[in-house]
Structure 1
């Protein structure tokens, strides 16, 4: 597991460096629009996808507020820090019904490429990076030994589109895929099992460039 996380982190870091290098290779790296920073606030729905890989255990998703801050190397290439401002609440169910609840709060760093000119009305973008999700509020074995989850870490991929409203303000819709696996511990000891979440997120928001 540790070696796998290190490989994912290395790939994400290389991807970010590659995007950064390409940005600095272009001219002086200045943005034609003059906008260096972008901030976005919005709402995101997170839904785990790997139900069948958990021996009958299903994990529901839910909504949470999210925000991002981006540094624009050029009008096309940026680095984004994205995360949840509150926890996503998950209900865990088994074949016999509800098992318990758990909360997650992801944060991610990604390199992104935005297509088209800065003043285009619609600007699709893609991104690749690395995330980790803080796990809290585990209530997975009421009345028995405490069951906890390790911090899921892994690659994150993003696709989205911005709709320019003014040179400063824009609306955003995006979808993200997080490779997310958590080790399961009981009474402080590893069980040798992992919970496979691998969620998709769908989000909408309002942003500003300056």
Structure 2
């Protein structure tokens, strides 16, 4: 099943679960710190007469600021966009060292289903689409420039919980897995070298304000 079909089925399922709920018409803003932990999977490849093994490309994991905006369609169902500022990550290659860096902007659009909105502790699940824009790649090996694809689109699946601190303030914690990959290519005479599958796990912690 491809990502588009999975997202469509998830939207239908969440909409059905929320069909009997009231419509509070509320907005929510989350300000959180998030740790982006990359999976760093890549295919084996050969370049410059050297055979590189699988998973030789490593993209730096790091803490990033996160700003989320959500709108509640019903008591249980929300639409959310996850934002951050452009992020810079160092990139290394096993046996070679640092190749350079990439900068990217990775907005994620999701539907959230909250299970128990009447208690202080409210678990939830989410599903949606990530659109990562590689705004800059400065990668070289032995004087040869390397390029990544400018855009990557993939599903984003998550789970988390909120804990009510007051009528409007919540503590919010979540984990989100994102399908993110890109071909890595050299100049036209070299072409594609490998595919890097980053598939980051995003662990987020912060506060949410509803109004």
Unaligned runs of at least 5 residues, structure 2: 45-53
More strand by percentage: 2
1:179-205: CA deviations, max 9, x gaps?
111122323684163111011111112
Question: TM-score, structure 1 length as denominator?
Answer: 0.83
Counterpart-to-counterpart distance in 2, 1:138 and 1:86 = 13
Per the TM alignment, residue 19 of structure 1 is displaced from its structure 2 partner at its CA by 2.2
Deviations 1:70-118 (A, max 9, x none): 1112222111111223315243232232222212321111111112124
CA distance in 2, matches of 1:135, 1:188: 20
Counterparts of 1:147 and 1:18 in 2: how far apart (Å)?
Answer: 42
Once the two structures are superposed, the pairs formed by residues 50-199 of structure 1 within 5 Å of their partners are 50-51=40-41, 53=43, 55=54, 56-118=56-118, 120-141=119-140, 144-150=143-149, 151-187=151-187, 190-191=191-192, 193-199=194-200
CA displacement, residues 126-163 of structure 1 (integer Å, 9 cap, x when unaligned): 11111111113312106634322112221111111111
CA-CA distance at 1:17 after TM superposition: 4.1
- Residue in 2 aligned with 1:37? 27
Count of matched residue pairs = 199
1:26 equivalenced with 2:27 (yes/no): no
Change (3 A) 1:102 1:175: same
For the residue of structure 1 that corresponds to 2:140, the secondary structure is coil
In 2, distance between residues paired with 1:64 and 1:127? 20
Deviates more, 1:167-176 or 1:90-99: 90-99
2-side partners of 1:142 and 1:57: how far apart? 12
Alpha carbons of 1:145 and 1:192: their partners in 2 closer, same or farther (altered >3 Å)? closer
TM-score if structure 2 supplies the norm length?
0.83
Distance across 2 between alignment mates of 1:171 and 1:139: 38
